[in-house]
Amino acid sequence: MQLAELTWPDVKARVPDTPFVIPVAALEQHGLHMPLATDAMLLAEVVRRVDEQLRDRVIFAPVQWLGNSHHHLEFAGTMSASPRTYLDLLADMLENVLHHGFRRVLILNGHGGNITPLKQAIFETRQKLRARRDLLLIGASYWDFRPAGRLGAEFVQDAVGHACEWETSMMLAIRPDLVKPFDHLNDLDTGYSFEPAYRGWITRERVPAGVESPGHLGDPRHASREKGDKLFETFAAGTARFLEKVIAWDGQSWEFPS
Ligand SMILES: [Zn+2]
C-alpha cells in the first residue's frame, strides 16, 4: 500500500502490526551520464515491485528525495541535508510513525551516504524508548537484500558503486531515455584506501592522481538493460522475502523468524 493514497482512517485501521516502510534516497550527481534523481528513481522502482508482491500487507511512505550527499556537493545540482540535519529528519520520520502506533518500521535506503545517519537515527530512537519491548526498528539498503557472492558470471562488479555497472543497468531498465552515452567512461573503483581504517572522503578525490573525477565510482561501461532487470528482480524479491519475516515476527523476540 502507498501511504500517499490512503485516507487517515485507512491508515488507522492498519495500526499496530502492519510493517511501515520509509524509503529514503537522494538528489545528487550521478556522473556524466545519469540524472540527479537516479537514487530516488531506482528505489521507487524497487518499492513498486515489492508493493506489487505484498499488496495490502505493508505500508510504503513516499520516497524521500533529499538525502545526505555533502560528499557530492562539488558537482552542480546536488542538494543535500547536512549529516546532523539528516539524522534529525530520519529520527522525526521514525517518531511520526511510532506516534501513530506502528511498531514494525523499516527504513529502506537507496543511497550510500544515508547509511551512517540511518543507523544512528534508529539507535537513538530505540534508546529514547527503552521501556518498550514491542518495537522492531530496522534499516537496510535495498542492495543488501541479495544472495551472497556474485550475482551472475556476466557481472563485473560484485557490489554497488555510484553511477556504476549496477546503477546504470537499472536506469537502462526503467528510463533509458535519461541515460547518456557511457562507453567512454573509465573504471574508477578506487576503494576506500588506508583500510582497515575508515577514511573521510569526498567523491572528487577518489580517483587516481592526475585524473579529474567525472563523478562515477565503479565501471559503467559494462551496464546493460538485461543486467538492470536482473538486479531489480533480485533486490525486489529479497526485500519482499525480508518483509515477510517482519510480518511473521512474534512482536517481542530478539530472534528473527527463520
Ligand atoms: Zn546512486
254 belongs to a structural domain: no
Angle of helix 38-54 relative to helix 165-174, nearest 10 degrees, comes to 70
Instruction: Tell me how far apart the alpha carbons of residues 209 and 218 are, in angstroms, rounded to a whole number.
Output: 17
* pLDDT of 258 over the 80 cut: no
Mind listing the pLDDT tens digit for each residue in 158-203? 999 999 999 999 999 999 999 999 999 988 976 788 999 999 999 9
- Rounded to the nearest angstrom, the distance between the alpha carbon of 163 and the centre of ligand 1 is 6
| In-domain check, residue 256 | no
Gap from CA of 67 to ligand 1 centroid (Å): 11
* pLDDT recorded at residue 256: 83
Q: What is the pLDDT of residue 161?
A: 94
Count other Cβ atoms within 10 Å, centred on residue 74. 14
CA angle centred on 22, ends 54 and 250, rounded to 5°: 60
Query: 79 has which bridge partners?
Result: 27
The alpha carbon of 179 and the centre of ligand 1 are apart by a number of angstroms equal to 13
**Ligand 1: centre distance to CA 111 (Å):** 6
**How far is it, in rounded angstroms, from Cα 152 to Cα 159?**
12
Residue 56: its pLDDT value, please?
95
How close is the Cα of 65 to the center of ligand 1, in Å?
12
- Indicate if the alpha-carbon torsion angle 99, 100, 104, 105 is positive or negative: negative
Which one, of 151, 231, 223, 229, lies nearest residue 187 by Cα? 223
Ligand 1 centroid–CA 238 distance in Å is 19
27 is a domain residue: yes
Q: State in Å: Cα 158 to ligand 1 middle.
A: 16
Q: Quick one: what percent of the chain has pLDDT higher than 90?
A: 91
Q: Looking at residue 189, what is its pLDDT?
A: 75
Total domains in the chain come to: 1
Report the chain's C-alpha Rg in angstroms: 19
Q: Report yes or no: 243 and 56 within 8 Å, Cβ to Cβ.
A: no
Residues 255, 138 contacting (CB under 8 angstroms): no
- Is residue 253 assigned to a domain? no
Residue 255 inside a domain? The answer is: no
Pairing of strands 136-141, 59-60: unpaired
pLDDT band with cut points at 50, 70 and 90 for residue 29: very high
Give Cβ neighbours of residue 36 (< 8 Å, ≥ 6 apart): 27, 28, 29, 30, 77, 78
Residue 100 Cα to ligand 1 middle (Å): 31
Residue 94 lies in a domain: yes
CA 91 to centroid of ligand 1, rounded, Å? 23
Mean pLDDT of the chain: 96
DSSP alpha helix (H) spans, the chain: 8-12, 38-54, 83-99, 115-128, 165-174, 225-248
Interval between CA 128 and ligand 1 midpoint (Å): 32
Residue 258 belongs to a domain: no
Model-wide pTM > 0.85 = yes
pLDDT single digits (tens) 223-251: 999 999 999 999 999 999 999 999 999 99
The rounded Å distance from CA 47 to ligand 1 centre is 16
How far apart are the C-alpha atoms of 190 and 152, rounded to whole Å? 23
Residues 6+ apart with CB under 8 A from 155: 165, 166, 222, 227
Domain that holds residue 214: 3-248
Write the pLDDT tens digit of every residue in 109-149: 999 999 999 999 999 999 999 999 999 999 999 999 999 88
Task: Confirm if 252 and 69 have CB atoms less than 8 A apart.
Answer: no
Mark the residues whose beta carbon lies below 5 A from ion ligand 1: 39, 167
CATH number of the domain that residue 103 is part of: 3.40.50.10310
Half-sphere exposure of 111 (CA within 13 A, CB side): 31
